[in-house]
Structure 1
Amino acid sequence: MQLTIVDAFTQTPGAGNRAGVVLDAAGLDGEAMQRIAAVVGASETAFLLSPPGEGPVRLRYFAPSEEIPFCGHATVATFHLLVERGVLKAPGSYRLECAAGVLDVELESLGAGGTRAWIVTPKQPWVESPVPLETLMGLVGGRVEMVDRSLPVLRNGHRVVIPLRRREDVWDLAPRPGALAEVLRPHGLSGVYVFTRETKDASSVAHSRYFVPGIGVAEDPVTGSAAGPLGMYLATRGLLALPAEGGTVRARIEQGDAIGKPGRIEVEVTGRAGEPERARIGGVAVTVLEGTLRA
């Protein structure tokens, strides 16, 4: 099986978030894809189900222990590779078909800087967390005093989002993956996403970490699927200022620095002030390794 390793949300090999990409997965069943993803060992591996033609680009995503409906960094990695191979062209507009639905993708040409993929992220309702905050903070190796009480702790899909006051607090977390997964699993949760508004770069809006033991990933280095919803969360509370008459705002989210794999995710939110309607994530990537996998 031909396999490519791509680092997404960075153009520096070894930084960002690593994805496996299989461009010829039409003959593979889910069991084979899961076995390959486990061997690759990246947080996710993307499998292209059919050559892009007139229809959408069809992908399936597998973490080391299970299939997931959508993955931001593996999508960025796949579209980067398709452009690099000459299969798709940038600039261009495409559609992505995956278990989370059919999503719009725009490829932006950066000239000598490569290609940035912009992907609409799936929308999930924001509801109260089913797990007590004290329990969650203990399991991620933190203290309740670290929490930014000016913002709510909420569940979004399969993750709980926790705002912290300081970047130092985010970096100091030391989760217990097994215990965390055990507590999250009965509620249909797989991870805890923490962020702070205290950033490394003045141009960024948030600095984050994501612990996802429920899918076999102790910590995901840079997470596009969480960054889009975070943009919606911030826009709802006026921390990303949308125009009253409606429009679009862009921001940048930092992640991966705490574990030596820095990446940057561009986030675009569209809607009216306090009422975001859609989020897109934007990212670049770099091809690291191409070879044959025997699994």
Structure 2
Amino acid sequence: MQVSIVDAFTRTPGAGNRAGVVLDAAGLGVDAMQRIAAAVGASETAFVLTGPGAEGVKLRYFTPTDEIEFCGHATVATFHLLTERALLPRSGTTRLECGAGVLDVELEATEVSGSRAWIQTPKRPWAESPVSLAQALALVGGTVDMVDTSLPVLRNGHRLMVPMRRREDVWALAPRSGPLAELLRPHGMTGVYVFTRDTREAGSVAHSRYFAPGVGIAEDPVTGAAGGPLGMYLAMHGVLELPAAGGTVRARIEQGDAIGKPGRIEVEVTGRAGQPEQVRIGGVAVTVLEGSLRI
């Protein structure tokens, strides 16, 4: 089986978030895809089932232990590879079909070789945390006095989103993966996403880390599927200011720096002030390795 290794949300090999990509997965069963993802060992591997074609591209995503509905960095990696192989034009629009539904994708040719993929992210409901904040923070190695109380702790889909005051506290976290997964599992949750407005770069809006032991990922280096909801969250609470009459705002999220794999997620939020309606994530990638995997 031919497999590509691609680092997403970066142009530097070894940085960002690594994804496996299988461009010709038609005919592979779930068991085979799961074995391939486990052998590749990236946080996610994307499998192209159909396309590219008039109907777009159909993908399935697997962590080393589970199938998931949507993965931002593996999608960026896949569209990077498709344009690099000239299977898609470097600019234009297409669609992505995955477990989360049908999502719009725009490819934007960059000055450097390749494209930036802008991907509509799935919407998930917002709710209060179903678990004790103190307990969840203790299991990621933090305490409640690290929380930025000017913003709410909220659940979005299968992740808990926790704002923190200082970047040094975010960097100091050291999760206990097994107990954290056990705490979240009864509530249908798989991870804790922590972020702070204390960024490394002046042009960024947030700095983050994501622990997802519920799907076999101790720490995901750069998480597009969480960056999209974070963009919406920040617009909901006025950190990203949308025009009162409606419009679009863009920002950048930092992730991966704490573990030596820095990546940058572009986010684009559309809507009215305090009422975001849609979010897209944008990112570039670099192909690191091409090879054959014996399964």
For the aligned pair, the TM-score class normalised by the smaller chain equals over 0.9
Matched residue, 2:149: 149
Residues 60-97 of structure 1: CA deviation (Å, up to 9, x unaligned):
00011110000000000000000000000021100000
Matched residue, 2:87: 87
Q: Could you tell me the TM-score, scaled by structure 2's length?
A: 0.99
Matched residue, 1:119: 119
Superposed counterparts of 1:172-251, under 5 Å: 172-251=172-251
* Structure 1 residue 154 displacement after superposition: 0.5
Aligned equivalents of 1:51, 1:122: Cα separation in 2? 21
* Structure 1 residue 111 displacement after superposition: 2.8
Aligned equivalents of 2:221, 2:169: Cα separation in 1? 17
1:132 correspondence with 2:132: yes
Tell me, what secondary structure is at the counterpart of 1:49? strand
Tell me, what secondary structure is at the counterpart of 1:50? strand
Aligned equivalents of 1:118, 1:79: Cα separation in 2? 10
Post-superposition, which runs of at least 4 consecutive aligned residues in structure 1 deviate over 4 A?
Answer: none
* 260-269 or 106-115: bigger deviation: 106-115
* Structure 1 residue 52 displacement after superposition: 1.2
Aligned equivalents of 2:113, 2:86: Cα separation in 1? 16
Tell me, what secondary structure is at the counterpart of 1:51? strand
Superposed counterparts of 1:63-102, under 5 Å: 63-102=63-102
Matched residue, 1:31: 31
Q: Are the aligned partners of 2:83 and 2:114 in contact in 1 as well (CA < 8 Å)?
A: no
Residues 190-221 of structure 1: CA deviation (Å, up to 9, x unaligned):
00000000000010000000000000000000
Matched residue, 2:285: 285
Q: Are the aligned partners of 2:46 and 2:78 in contact in 1 as well (CA < 8 Å)?
A: yes
Task: Name stretches of at least 5 consecutive residues in structure 1 with no aligned partner.
Answer: none
Q: Which amino acid aligns with 1:147?
A: V
Aligned equivalents of 1:188, 1:125: Cα separation in 2? 13
Q: Are the aligned partners of 2:265 and 2:281 in contact in 1 as well (CA < 8 Å)?
A: yes
Residues 28-49 of structure 1: CA deviation (Å, up to 9, x unaligned):
0111101110111100000000
% same residue: 75
Tell me, what secondary structure is at the counterpart of 1:261? coil
The count of aligned residue pairs is: 295
Aligned equivalents of 1:111, 1:139: Cα separation in 2? 44
Matched residue, 2:106: 106
* Structure 1 residue 113 displacement after superposition: 4.2
* Structure 1 residue 291 displacement after superposition: 0.3
* 106-115 or 141-150: bigger deviation: 106-115
Aligned equivalents of 1:281, 1:51: Cα separation in 2? 22
Residues 116-170 of structure 1: CA deviation (Å, up to 9, x unaligned):
0000000001100100100001000011110001110000000000000000010
Aligned equivalents of 1:246, 1:108: Cα separation in 2? 24
1:5 correspondence with 2:9: no
1:273 correspondence with 2:287: no
* Structure 1 residue 25 displacement after superposition: 0.2
Tell me, what secondary structure is at the counterpart of 1:28? coil
Aligned equivalents of 2:113, 2:48: Cα separation in 1? 25
* Structure 1 residue 51 displacement after superposition: 2.9
CA-atom RMSD in angstroms:
0.6
Q: Which amino acid aligns with 1:75?
A: T
Q: Which amino acid aligns with 1:205?
A: V
Aligned equivalents of 1:252, 1:91: Cα separation in 2? 21
Aligned equivalents of 2:6, 2:52: Cα separation in 1? 19
* Structure 1 residue 54 displacement after superposition: 1.2
Matched residue, 1:259: 259
Matched residue, 2:165: 165
Aligned equivalents of 1:54, 1:235: Cα separation in 2? 34
Q: Which amino acid aligns with 1:266?
A: E
